[in-house]
Structure 1
Amino acid sequence: MKIFSKATFKSHVEGYTVYDCAFNTVDRFCFLLVEEKDSRDTLPRTRFLVVGLDGPTAPRLGYFDTGDMRFSTIARGYAPEEYVAVDTASQVYSSDSRRRGMEASIEDLISLKTPADTMVTIRRVVRAAGKLYAVGSNRRLYRREGMDQWVDLHGEGWGAPWQSDARSRAMGFNDLSAFSDTDFYAAGGEGDLWRFDGTHWHPCPLPTQAQLETVCCAGDGKVYVSDLHGNVWAGREAHWEQVASSELAWGSQPVDAHWFQGRMYFGAQEGVYVISADKELVPLGEVDEHAPSSMVTGRIDISPDGRHMLTAGPYGACLYDGERWTRLFSAFDFR
């Protein structure tokens, strides 16, 4: 089904770049759009576009705009069911079946100060073990419990250890993934990888001091970790090996990592990468001749049933079921 006519594309998407995406069902998703601006005098507007392709009046389109958020990410929660976006300053957008809009920032609800009196920066919001977490610098994690409700894991006594003599840049986190609620992995900082067993945090001896970007608890039982340049390590607990090398330029590094249909996928702002037979991180098009352009792929989310992958690039989005790619929309169709 076509999502947009020429008129609805112009009113809902034109003038914006697709920055992130979140998956509800194969017929329902949300796109995070950022206004294209030449001037730096004011922040670009952020638009949250909710799409529904099911029901008698499909497609259903609705959006919410704000000029206050910057460098946001979005995820879909299921307990409660909602889309939630958080930016680097901890501002929060959420939407469910009844409402959409801004709510209290995390900083308004919980102190984001570290023991060194510095401020935590929120890196992203992720879903792990069925819950949403805001992932922050200085090894901070904040669990969402509902509208205007966040819990600091340190406040519960479950936070990762603080290292008073470390530089802030040396410590994570940038990403979080989980096999279960008693088997978490969090990564970031200079090779700063930790595992939570439900009671205690354990440092993982990853053989690198590179800046870590993503972590994924994969369907093959391994944990995959990528760095700023796209190098990838795999393993678990104390055992790790490098499984892919790369020299991606800054700005092209992985920002998403997901296991889907027996393969690891790494999403960047422009394009999807996979591990080749030669143990290199390569653009998806090098191993899948049917893969769409990097203009309509990049950020990744997986459907709750694990049967579809949603990916969005600057100018559009696609669905993939493991065999067939379906282009949901492309800005180039309306030019």
Structure 2
Amino acid sequence: MIIEDSVWKKYFDGYTVFDCAIFRQQGFFFILVEEKDSRDVLPKTRLITLATDRLGEAGIRRSQAEDFSFSSVACGVDPTEYVVVDTGSNVYSASGKSNQFERKIEDLISLKTPVGTMVTIRRVVRVAGKLYAVGSNRRLYRREGVEKWVDLHSKGVGAPMPADYMESKLSGSWSRVIGFKDLSAFSETDFYAAGGEGDLWRFDGKTWTQCPLPTNAQLETVCCAGDGKVYVTDLHGNVWAGREEKWAQVATSELSWGSQPVDAFWFKGRMLFGAQEGLYVINGSKQLVPLGDVEDGVPSSMVTGRIDISPDGNHLLTAGPYGACLYDGKTWTRLFSAFDYR
């Protein structure tokens, strides 16, 4: 086992994996959430940096947060760092030089919308070499360093709001109607952001253009893929693909609420979708199906689901509630599983 029994008990036991990120073949980050029977008190969040080429505890750093909720993590490349952001704009960062809890994004820049509501951070992603916090009300915040975030709206390059955005009777529902929830890009001048009720936008570096996606379903993920298409999923796992003005549904699905896609990445020549119940792929019948249905040797949903790709594009890290696996396009390597320690 890559993780010794004593290390597992000290750092992982009693927690489930919520998200993951990868920098290199032997360098990872995991967000762990305390297993609790009651939700009256917020579960603790444990933040783990893991280097598997270092033996025992020498390869692990741990921090713990009492007030993080629904956190996500991404790996930055310039500088190299892992950055965690939660829905309340709490921030934690870890690099080779330091690991620290930073001031909230809302303590550094205003997250208040013109209609008086607060932006909710949905996730943090690496796009075109930069890290972005993706927020409701079509908000994007670019990270420029420790405790430095730039609101694209404040720079005059934010996505436009609906014409009736300022009507008070609608203000409470905008976070459901409009994006964003995910962000992807082909380059610095070709971004796609998705969320809300079919709310998909393209940014060319200067101007945002709304894409005519043929659905009003709640959008979950977006991926600018290696085949030149953009793939978008909704709450039930239906998939649309296209670019700019041309879009078509390429897969149907009936995933239940709570099992919807949470990640979408192009890896080694194909689209992979990560959901709460494992990995999915589009089959020949244009259906979104578990990856294990179309090929052998795929690990179970207990150790797969969340996805991240190493910056060099050579390795895929996936994590489920009870473990994690590494994939190079041919071979699956189980990094750890809770069931190995019982």
TM-score under structure 2 normalisation? 0.96
Amino acid at match of 1:180: S
* Residue 74 (structure 1) shift: 0.4
> Given residue 284 of structure 1, which amino acid in structure 2 is its aligned partner?
L
2:323 maps to amino acid = G
Deviations 1:271-314 (A, max 9, x none): 01110111000011101211000000000001111111100000
Match of 1:83 in 2: 82
How many residue pairs were aligned?
A: 334
Shift of the alpha carbon at 1:41?
Answer: 2.3
Name the residue aligned to 2:340.
333
Task: Indicate the residue corresponding to 1:174 in structure 2.
Answer: 181
1:202-221 equivalent positions in 2, closer than 5 A: 202-221=209-228
C-alpha deviations, 1:57-83, integer Å up to 9, x for none?
A: 786111100111000000001112110
Could you tell me how far apart the structure 2 residues matched to 1:22 and 1:114 are? 30
In the TM superposition, what is the alpha-carbon distance from 1:150 to its structure 2 partner? 0.2
Structure 2 CA distance for partners of 1:42 and 1:56, relative to 1, 3 Å: closer
* CA distance in structure 2 between the partners assigned to 1:267 and 1:203 by the alignment: 26
Distance of 2:57 and 2:298 partners within structure 1: 27
AA matched with 1:47: R
**8 Å Cα contact 2:31-2:46 kept in structure 1:** yes
Q: For residue 186 of structure 1, what is the aligned residue in structure 2? A: 193
Deviations 1:240-297 (A, max 9, x none): 0100000100010001000001110111123011101110000111012110000000
Amino acid at match of 2:247: W
Q: Which residue of 2 aligns with 1:9?
A: 8
Which residue of the partner structure matches residue 273 of structure 2? 266
Give 2:219's aligned amino acid: L
State the secondary structure of the residue aligned to 2:302. helix
Could you tell me whether the CA contact under 8 Å between 1:270 and 1:314 is conserved in 2?
no
- State the alpha-carbon separation in 1 of the partners of residues 72 and 37 from structure 2: 22
Partner amino acid, structure 1, of 2:82? Y
The aligned amino acid for 2:25 is: V
Secondary structure at 1:7's aligned position in 2?
A: helix
Secondary structure at the counterpart of residue 301 of structure 1:
strand
Residue matched to 2:47 = 48
Aligned-pair Cα RMSD in Å: 1.2
Name the structure 2 match of 1:18.
17
| Partner residue, 1:114 | 113
> Which residue pairs with 1:280 in the alignment?
287
Deviation at 1:164, TM superposition (A): 5.0
* Structure 1: 5+ residue stretches without partners: none
**Equivalent of 2:254, from 237, 247, 254?**
247
Q: Does 1:97 align with 2:96?
A: yes
User: What fraction of aligned residue pairs are identical, expressed as a percent?
Assistant: 67
The 1:316/1:56 distance shift into structure 2, 3 A limit, reads closer
In structure 2, give the amino acid aligned to 1:148.
E
**What SS does the aligned partner of 1:82 have?**
strand
CA contact (8 A) 2:3 2:56 kept: no
Distance 1:3 1:93 in 2: 26
The Cα shift of 1:17 comes to 0.3
Within the candidate set 305, 313, 318, 1:306 is matched to 313
**Cα distance in 1, alignment partners of residues 303 and 264 from structure 2:** 17
Q: For the residues of structure 1 that align with 2:18 and 2:40, how far apart are their CA atoms?
A: 21
Does 2:154 match 1:161? Answer: no
Runs (5+) with no aligned partner, structure 2: 166-172
Paired with 1:148 and 1:270, the residues of 2 have a C-alpha distance of 35
The answer to whether the Cα contact below 8 Å between 1:18 and 1:312 also exists between their aligned partners in 2 is yes
CA contact (8 A) 2:7 2:56 kept: no
For residues 66 and 3 of structure 1, the distance between their equivalents in structure 2, rounded to whole angstroms, comes to: 26
Q: Which residue of 1 aligns with 2:30?
A: 31
Identify the residue that residue 137 of structure 1 maps to in structure 2.
Answer: 136
Which contiguous aligned blocks of 4+ residues in structure 1 show a shift greater than 3 angstroms? 55-59
Residue 56 of structure 1 and its aligned partner are, at CA, apart by 7.4
- CA-CA distance at 1:223 after TM superposition: 0.2
Residue 53 of structure 2 aligns to a residue in which SS? coil
